[in-house]
Structure formats: C-alpha cells, structure tokens
C-alpha cells in the first residue's frame, strides 16, 4: 500500500462528511483541552516566567550552549560516524567473505555489538581508558562505544547494500578476470554506496541522539552542560525544552537530508530497511 490513507476508505459521502466533521471538532476539543491543561499547569507553576528562560537569551550562556554543547555534540557524532563507517566497511565486507575463517568471526562480532546496550560498552571503555584522562577520556569513551555499536549496524548496511547490487555486475567483473577483492572494491562498492547513503544518514541521526548517553560517564556535551544549567538556575522544564528543541532541530535537518538524498540518488526504489537491533536479520528484517 502506498501509505496514502485514502486507500483505506472511500471518498466520503455527505453523511460521512458530517460525521468526520463531528470527529474533527471532538478531536480538536480534546487535543486543545489537553494542551490547555498542560499549559495552565505550567503557568500555575510559574514555568513561563521570564526568569526561567532568561538564561537562554543571555549571550554568555547562548555562546556556551552553542560552543560547548551543540558543537561538541556534532563533533562527537561526526567522529563516531567516521569511525563506524570504517568499522562497518571492514566488517560488512568481511561478512561476505568466501572463507568461513573471516566470515564467521566478523558475523559474531557484528551480532554481539548489535545485541549489547551501548551504555555497557561505554562503561567498559570508560573504565579501561577514559577514567584517568578527564574530559577527553570520557569524550573518546563515548565516541568509541558509539563506533562499535553504529559500526555494527553499518556493517549490516554495507552487506545489504552490496547484496542489493544486481548479480550480473559481480559476474561480469569475475568474467573479465578480476579477483574477488577487486570486484568488491572496483565494481560493487561504488554502486552500493548510492544505495546505502540514506541508511547511512539515518544512522547518523541515531549516533547524534546517542551522544546524549555520554551523560552516564559525565562526558562533555549538550546534556551535561544543560544539567549544570538547571542545577544552577532550577529551571529544569525550560532547560529540557531547549535541549529537546536543539536535538529535534539537528535530527530533523539530517532526516530531511536523508529524504533528499533518497529522492536524488536512489529514486523511487525502496530504501534499504536495516534493522537496528540484533535478533533480526538486518537485510530482510526477518526474525532469526
């Protein structure tokens, strides 16, 4: 089904139009009522007062939020994505290797890191490496943990992308006498990149959101900065609204980019559906 809701029901007749109008009014009343209740509650508790929000229009704090928060988070996510692309490329290709000596270990590594919560990895890395190195130790613990997790997901993306290239391509490559490695490198990967791009960008969104988990090891970033702000000013609600808004802005921008890339480079073909968790076959989404 195309997703257009109109497939599920006929064009409404006059009686149905009236009924839908009633539903619309009822829904509006309920939604507006709920919003009004929340708004009133917030008003009563003084959450709209100027002093709650003042810090977010104070230039010194705005600068801190943008430089020590948003910029650090973006750097963290970028580092994690670059490293996990390398990880994913190596393990994704290894998962497709002929030899079981390469294929099986790669498969187990990828499945393991997809099944283990990223926070556990973060703590292990933090206590192995980061704990004596202050802020930069915590920073790299987050990046490395995100690399292992997102890299494993990207390994599945790479594998699915290569498998999505028509079979005739690799056969033609082998037929003109290229070795398997060169077929992968020269023929399959360049074509697979195009198919993989939207999935890779969606994974960037996941990495960006997961930078917030650095909170658990007190890594620098938006959430740690914001929590120090609300501890100082006691404006928990306002601070979290701003935090969420910043994350939503960054992630929506990336999602828009993914949609555009999908339309521009992949066309109407369906995007690769890669499951983010273990326990499900990544390429087909089937439960294993």
Partner 1 sequence: MDIVLDNLDLMGRALGYTLLFFVIAAVLSLTLGTVLAAMRVGPVSVLRRAAAAYVTLVRNTPLLVVLLFFRVAGPKVGLNFSFVDLQLGQWRINNIFAALVVGLSIYTAAFVCEALRSGINAVPLGQAEAARAIGLPFGGVMTQVVLPQAIRASVPPMASVQIALLKNTTVCGALGVVELFARMRSFTNNDPTQRVGIFIAFAALFVVLVLIVSFVANRLERRWRIA
Q: Which residues of this chain interact with partner 1, rule CB under 8 A?
A: 1-3, 5, 7-10, 12, 20, 23-24, 27-28, 31, 41-42, 45, 47, 112, 115-120, 123-124, 127-128, 131, 205, 209-213, 215-216, 223, 227, 230, 234, 236-237, 239-240, 243-244, 247-248, 251-252, 255, 275-280, 285-288
Least Å distance between CB 230 and partner 1? 7
Least Å distance between CB 286 and partner 1? 6
Range 20-29 contact pairs with CB under 8 angstroms and sequence separation of 24 or more: none
Do 138 and 130 meet the contact criterion of CB atoms below 8 Å apart?
A: yes
Least Å distance between CB 84 and partner 1? 17
Do 221 and 76 meet the contact criterion of CB atoms below 8 Å apart?
A: yes
Least Å distance between CB 275 and partner 1? 5
Cα separation, 288 vs 280, whole angstroms: 5
Burial class (CB in 10 A: 0-12, 13-18, 19+), 18: exposed
Closest to partner 1 by CB, 99 vs 277, is 277
Least Å distance between CB 229 and partner 1? 12
Closest to partner 1 by CB, 78 vs 251, is 251
Closest to partner 1 by CB, 189 vs 250, is 250
Cα separation, 275 vs 153, whole angstroms: 8
Do 110 and 152 meet the contact criterion of CB atoms below 8 Å apart?
A: yes
Closest to partner 1 by CB, 191 vs 227, is 227
Q: Residue 135: phi, psi to the nearest 5?
A: -60, -40
Closest to partner 1 by CB, 58 vs 231, is 231
Beta strands (DSSP E) in the chain are: none
Closest to partner 1 by CB, 143 vs 223, is 223
Cα separation, 91 vs 85, whole angstroms: 10
Closest to partner 1 by CB, 12 vs 134, is 12
Which of 165, 155, 186 has the alpha carbon at shortest distance from 93?
155
Least Å distance between CB 246 and partner 1? 10
- What's the residue count for the chain? 288
Residues 6+ away with beta carbon under 8 Å from 112: 152, 278
Least Å distance between CB 60 and partner 1? 23
């Amino acid at each position: 089904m195309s997703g257009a809701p109109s497939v599920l029901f006929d064009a409404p007749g006059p009686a149905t139009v009236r009924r839908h109008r009633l539903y619309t009014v009822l829904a509006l009343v309920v939604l507006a009522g709920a919003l009004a209740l929340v708004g009133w509650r917030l008003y009563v508790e003084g959450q709209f007062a100027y002093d709650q929000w003042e810090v977010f229009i104070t230039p010194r704090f705005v600068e801190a939020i943008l430089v020590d928060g948003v910029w650090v988070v973006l750097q963290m996510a970028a580092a994690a994505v670059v490293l996990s692309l390398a990880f994913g490329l190596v393990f994704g290709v290894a998962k497709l290797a002929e030899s079981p000596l390469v294929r099986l270990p790669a498969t187990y590594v990828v499945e393991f890191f997809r099944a283990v919560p990223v926070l556990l990895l973060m703590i292990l890395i933090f206590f192995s490496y980061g704990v004596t190195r202050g802020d930069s130790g915590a920073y790299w613990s987050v990046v490395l943990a995100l690399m292992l997790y997102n890299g494993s997901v990207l390994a599945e993306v790479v594998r699915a992308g290569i498998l999505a290239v028509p079979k005739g391509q690799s056969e033609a490559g082998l037929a003109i006498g290229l070795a398997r490695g060169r077929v992968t490198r020269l023929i399959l990967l360049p074509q697979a990149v195009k198919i993989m791009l939207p999935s890779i960008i969606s994974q960037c969104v996941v990495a960006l959101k997961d930078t917030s988990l650095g909170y658990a090891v007190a890594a620098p970033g938006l959430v740690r900065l914001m929590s120090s702000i609300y501890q100082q000013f006691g404006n928990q609600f306002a601070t979290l609204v701003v935090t969420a808004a910043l994350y939503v802005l960054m992630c929506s921008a990336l999602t828009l980019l993914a949609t555009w890339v999908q339309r521009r480079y992949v066309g109407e073909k369906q995007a690769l559906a890669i499951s983010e968790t273990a326990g499900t076959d990544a390429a087909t989404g089937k439960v294993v």
